[in-house]
Amino acid sequence: MFEWGFFGLLMSNGILIGLMYSLIALGFVLVYKATDAINFAQGEFVMIAGWGVAAAMALYGAPLWLAVAAGLGGMVGFGFGLERVVLRPLIGRPIVAVIMATIGLAAVLRGVGPLLWGAETRSLALPISDSPIVWGPLFIPPIQLLGAVVSLLFLAAFGWFFLKSRKGIAMRAVADNQQVAMAMGINVERYFGVAWAMAGVVSALGGIIWGSLLGVDVHLALVGFKVFPVVILGGLDSVPGAIIGGLIVGIVENVAAGYVDPWVGGGTKDFAPYLLMIIALMVRPYGIFGRPTIERV
């Protein structure tokens, strides 16, 4: 018998988790819109940011506000430094060179985190209640609600940035064609740095929220792989696509876990997003809101 209360619970949790996925997906979108390359180290960015904040509180006794501020500032500096040292020499090179650089960076970060702060799982406690908010048949964890609100605020801010601000439009021009952007007087190197710094801010926020939800260790980087179907489904160059893709993936994996897991013994939510991604690639490979690329042969 179909239970609307159980279905509503799955849907509400799926929406909240989906919005939290969307925040991480925004990091992919920011880099892709500015550089036309996919950052395969996005999950490791989230991991290293969460680890830094948790370590600042646990090892150095920093208050939460200072640890969060240091985490945000550190990831902004990390984004600028990464672009200046590693990625700027690759301007004008084939996109695959940037992609391989991010894959190598991901491996480095997975080793650096345990080396600096130890391999054990660290908690990242936020000053919110652990008791769920009960609203009729719904049980809403406060950390998921906080993550959804933060995600919506920053998704709206970055959407406005790309659509309305001069810098956002310049970043879109850089993504379309670096050579033409240079010819029009746009400082491509500067906007590359801004894009990676913004991705660092998104990663820091995601690391704090997801670290509080799951704990902080090397496995936190797997959030980046869970988010990859989101950007493929919504479109790599679309902020609204990151939102819609995150909602779809969050809902699908929660509903699948609720209704299919009892029949197969579990694990449905781990592969359902990737099955959805494969279907999306076959039907609409550039995503729901992605921009189709048409090349004349």
Helices 4-35, 222-234: crossing angle, 10 deg rounding: 80
State the chain's mean pLDDT as an integer: 84
Q: Which two tokens stand for residue 104?
A: 């190598």
Q: Which two tokens stand for residue 289?
A: 């809101």
Encode pLDDT of 17-48 as tens digits. 999 999 899 888 888 877 777 888 888 999 99
pLDDT of residue 51 exceeding 80, the answer is: yes
| 129 vs 148: which has the higher pLDDT | 148
- Name the CA radius of gyration of the chain, rounded: 19
Q: Write the single-letter amino acid at 13.
A: N
**What pLDDT is attached to residue 27?**
85
Nearest to 206 by CA among 29, 56, 67, 49: 49
On the CB side of 130, CA atoms within 13 Å amount to 4
Encode pLDDT of 242-292 as tens digits. 889 999 999 999 888 888 888 877 778 888 888 888 888 888 887 887 666
CA 118/CA 131 separation, integer angstroms: 30
**What are the residue boundaries of the structural domains of the chain, listed by start?**
4-283
Topology at the third CATH level for domain 4-283: ABC transporter involved in vitamin B12 uptake, BtuC (1.10.3470)
**What pLDDT is attached to residue 137?**
72
pLDDT interval class at 69 (50, 70, 90): very high
**What pLDDT is attached to residue 75?**
92
| 209 vs 3: which has the higher pLDDT | 209
Q: For residue 248, what are the contacts with CB-CB under 8 A and spacing of at least 6?
A: 18, 230, 233, 234, 276
**3-state SS assignment for residue 290:** coil
CA 70/CA 290 separation, integer angstroms: 35
**What pLDDT is attached to residue 172?**
77
Cβ atoms < 10 Å from Cβ of 198: 23
**What pLDDT is attached to residue 291?**
67
Rounded mean pLDDT of 164-175?
Answer: 80
- Distance of CA 158 to CAs 15, 40, 89, 143, 216, Å? 20, 21, 27, 22, 26
CA 217/CA 51 separation, integer angstroms: 7
β-strands 133-135, 138-140 pairing = antiparallel
CA 242/CA 188 separation, integer angstroms: 25
CA 167/CA 129 separation, integer angstroms: 39
Rounded mean pLDDT of 157-168?
Answer: 82
**3-state SS assignment for residue 36:** coil
**What pLDDT is attached to residue 293?**
62
**What pLDDT is attached to residue 2?**
57
**What pLDDT is attached to residue 73?**
92
pLDDT of residue 294 exceeding 70, the answer is: no
